[in-house]
Structure 1
Amino acid sequence: MSSPVFDDVIGQPDAVEVLELAVAASHGDADVPTSAMTHAWLFTGPPGSGRSVAARAFAAALECPDRGCGHCSHCRTVLHGTHADLKAVVPEGLTISVKEMRAVVQQAARRPATGRWQIVLIEDADRLTEGASNALLKAVEEPPPHTVFLLCAPSTHPDDVSVTIRSRCRVLALRTPAAEAIADVLVRRDGIDSEQADWAAAVSGGHVGRARRLARDEQARDERARILALPGSLRSMSAVFAEAEELIGLAKGTAKTVSEKRDAAELEELKTALGAGGTGKGAVGAARGTAGVVKELERRQKSRATRTERDVLDRALIDLSGFYRDVIAVAFGAEVPLTNPDLADEVAVAASRFGAVGALRRLDAVLACREAIELNVKPLIAVEAMMMTLYRG
């Protein structure tokens, strides 16, 4: 029976066992080798596997006197990101800068204030710039005695995490959770109807967060339906460009909706903190030189909006790649579960239209589009090129 704090780490029994042994070693249990615990961990796994969830649960268990009870102040504050000895780096923009990482490394050198460890949790460590990676490497090479580094990244590939940092971490590989495990947690924890939970888990591609959103958000279900209707709607050249613009518009619209309220509130708070609206003698002087601070906030907000837009677009491309994967499976007669079981009829029609070879060419185009956007090709150009291949094969 695992500690309660690990209850939300779905479908990862082997990983939880390793983490609980590490927690036991950190408490000095005589029957657990001290080597079970180390100062740096790298959580890897596909999107939705729960890398950051597992890392936070581990951090809570390390700080908790009862090894992860889930109720104490240490567990609650770590899981909510407010613990005094936890520094969580959650990149909102496209990268994690060297300036940000140097500040984190400085904090990591301090002794714990209230807990047993000073913990640095870096979500999306694959977004570290080269300079940020070098700054982190120095701290990981010579860690303070009471500091633990928890990094999360898709894989150990050098494109995700530098070889030098990876070599100094213990790698914990997470796997895609089974649909049954995802459905169970949607029913048990989120109170979702079992039929809706089963459907959302089946079409989520093993992504827990995606399954929860599909189960609870009608807009998310509508967006998925629009994306997966694309292969059947590309019947002319005009449709190619129209659908490309619609897809980019969807991504921009979602990013704008997410950013608008938050950006306005942040800007207002910053201006108030800088003395905006003040009437005293020092108000004018205090307001001088604040333009640079406001400009920096606006730059970060723009970067965050760009990342949101790309994330929405990438989610759409993942849905499309799942559709063409299903077409290939059906064309070959493979007896494997479909990624989109609710679209079995549409998949069968597509398989009869262009077969396995045609589906493979289209899948390659979708993956090439993802890579092009990652390399900063203008999204509209990358999507138009993809749509052309989806249309012509």
Structure 2
Amino acid sequence: MDAVATLPWADVWGQDEAVATLQAAAADPAGMTHAWLITGPPGSGRSTLAAAFAAALIAEPGDENGMRQVLAGVHPDLTALRTEGVIISIKDARALVERSYFSPSLGRYRVIIMEDADRMVERTSNVLLKALEEPPERTVWILCAPSEADLLPTIRSRVRVLRLREPDVDDVARLISQRTGVNLAIAEQSARHAQRHIGMAQRLATDDAARARRDDTLRGVLSVRGVGDAVEVAGRVVQAATEDAKTLTAERDELERATLLRTVGIAEGAAVPPAVRSQLSALEDEQKRRATRSLRDGIDRVLTDLQSMFRDVVLLQFGRDTDLINRELESDLRALAAAWSPQRTMTVLDQIAATRRNLEQNVAPTLALESMLVTVASGRIP
């Protein structure tokens, strides 16, 4: 198959059935559904598939340049919301709705992509309802979320749902090894620890420090025996997540600031005139929101890792040891499985899930982790 024919879908991996469905939809304007919901776990490729579908919809068949513009996010008929805040704001939702009523300027369709649609509160969801129910003839909405249950029923009733499959660990490992050149053993371990999340698996495979932090965190939690240990380990987890978030955002923040100043003609190191300060302040506010989201995402990844560890303990308690996620800790997990009852392990898992929900409600991360680790130490919810 030639490059033009495969171009929109070249980066979509392991989702042949979904690709076939969307290819057929893009080729049939008469039967086109104008609002879609792509669901799948984090790392399953929802955003990549949404971008490929947008390219197939907007560009004429064979228009390689148009497809590349869409995939790069610079085509005038594509609007994509990739929120980096804790929630999607009503302001952002209204801007999307307003944009959706514009006719396509160059392509066949105007496409609106909303990633992380599960981050909408009810008021924000209500802003979208009419736009999803009665979109203009040549506008297509593509929402992305982990599952249908993450959106309101009123939203779900107005979209066509496309569910992605979860790849196998071995499939993810081969992909990561091919992409990065790391040996297959490291790729397999990373894919397993990331629970098949492709982006996270790639980061673990290529970052020795990230793998070491994960191992240190899990072993630290296993060492918790009382309130003092809980406080110490919670502090270490938050500190590590904070440093990780700063590493991920600092370079980007500085580049954005330099780009803004260069755009308005201010030389490096020169004083910022009052007329530009409001723009700089708005950028800094956005960066702070992104940093908050990055920190919470980092802590959520830690909690996901802890869930995988205590899930392994439950499996061992019921005599299953063939599909452990954290094989490197098997001897410690077997000791814990023998010392605890299954009920105690389930209590800890319930508290980890509750902690994840609490963090989404802006509970202080350190306090939330301390409370969760007290449950690990005692087997009882405080």
CA contact (8 A) 2:34 2:140 kept: yes
CA offset at residue 299 of structure 1?
1.8
Pair 1:234-2:224 in alignment: yes
Q: Give 1:8's aligned residue.
A: 11
Q: Give 1:151's aligned residue.
A: 143
CA offset at residue 195 of structure 1?
2.6
**Cα deviations across residues 46-95 of structure 1 (Å, max 9, x unaligned)?**
2222211211121122234337xxx9222322222222221110001112
CA contact (8 A) 1:275 1:287 kept: no
Q: Give 2:310's aligned residue.
A: 324
Name the CA distance, whole Å, in 1 between partners of 2:59 and 2:206: 32
Decide which of 170, 185, 197 is 2:187's aligned counterpart.
197
Decide which of 40, 43, 55 is 1:45's aligned counterpart.
40
Change (3 A) 1:247 1:392: same
**Cα deviations across residues 237-276 of structure 1 (Å, max 9, x unaligned)?**
3221110101111111122222333323333443455565
Name the CA distance, whole Å, in 2 between partners of 1:193 and 1:75: 34
Change (3 A) 1:236 1:223: same
**Cα deviations across residues 168-192 of structure 1 (Å, max 9, x unaligned)?**
1101112321112212222333433
Q: Secondary structure at the match of 1:342?
A: helix
The worse-fitting range, judged by mean Cα deviation, of 336-345 and 266-275 is 266-275
**Cα deviations across residues 134-163 of structure 1 (Å, max 9, x unaligned)?**
332232222111111110011222xx3222
Q: Give 1:128's aligned residue.
A: 120
**Cα deviations across residues 106-147 of structure 1 (Å, max 9, x unaligned)?**
222222223221111111011224443233223222211111
Q: Give 1:339's aligned residue.
A: 325
- 1:15 maps to a residue whose letter is A
Q: Give 2:83's aligned residue.
A: 91
Name the CA distance, whole Å, in 2 between partners of 1:266 and 1:81: 17
CA offset at residue 218 of structure 1?
1.1
Decide which of 296, 301, 304 is 1:310's aligned counterpart.
296
CA contact (8 A) 1:6 1:16 kept: yes
1:364-375 superposed matches below 5 A: 364-375=350-361
Q: Secondary structure at the match of 2:148?
A: coil
CA contact (8 A) 2:193 2:305 kept: no
CA contact (8 A) 2:115 2:143 kept: yes
CA offset at residue 317 of structure 1?
0.3
- 1:42 maps to a residue whose letter is L
**Which stretches in structure 1 are left out of the alignment for 5+ residues?**
27-33, 279-283
CA offset at residue 348 of structure 1?
1.3
1:198-347 superposed matches below 5 A: 198-273=188-263, 287-288=273-274, 290-334=276-320, 336-347=322-333
Name the CA distance, whole Å, in 1 between partners of 2:211 and 2:16: 30
- Tell me the C-alpha RMSD between the 2 structures: 2.6
Change (3 A) 1:377 1:54: same
Q: Secondary structure at the match of 1:148?
A: strand
The worse-fitting range, judged by mean Cα deviation, of 325-334 and 346-355 is 346-355
**Cα deviations across residues 3-22 of structure 1 (Å, max 9, x unaligned)?**
45334333323322221221
Q: Give 2:99's aligned residue.
A: 107
Q: Secondary structure at the match of 2:37?
A: strand
**Cα deviations across residues 286-321 of structure 1 (Å, max 9, x unaligned)?**
944544433322221111110000000000000000
Name the CA distance, whole Å, in 2 between partners of 1:369 and 1:330: 24
CA contact (8 A) 1:255 1:308 kept: yes
CA offset at residue 213 of structure 1?
1.0
Change (3 A) 1:171 1:112: same
CA contact (8 A) 1:48 1:176 kept: no
Name the CA distance, whole Å, in 2 between partners of 1:23 and 1:250: 45
CA contact (8 A) 1:11 1:178 kept: no
**Which stretches in structure 2 are left out of the alignment for 5+ residues?**
none
Name the CA distance, whole Å, in 2 between partners of 1:335 and 1:290: 61
The worse-fitting range, judged by mean Cα deviation, of 172-181 and 258-267 is 258-267
CA contact (8 A) 1:108 1:120 kept: yes
CA offset at residue 203 of structure 1?
2.4
Name the CA distance, whole Å, in 2 between partners of 1:136 and 1:73: 31
**Cα deviations across residues 354-381 of structure 1 (Å, max 9, x unaligned)?**
1422221211121111111112211111
Q: TM-score when scaled to structure 1?
A: 0.87
Change (3 A) 1:191 1:17: same
Pair 1:175-2:178 in alignment: no
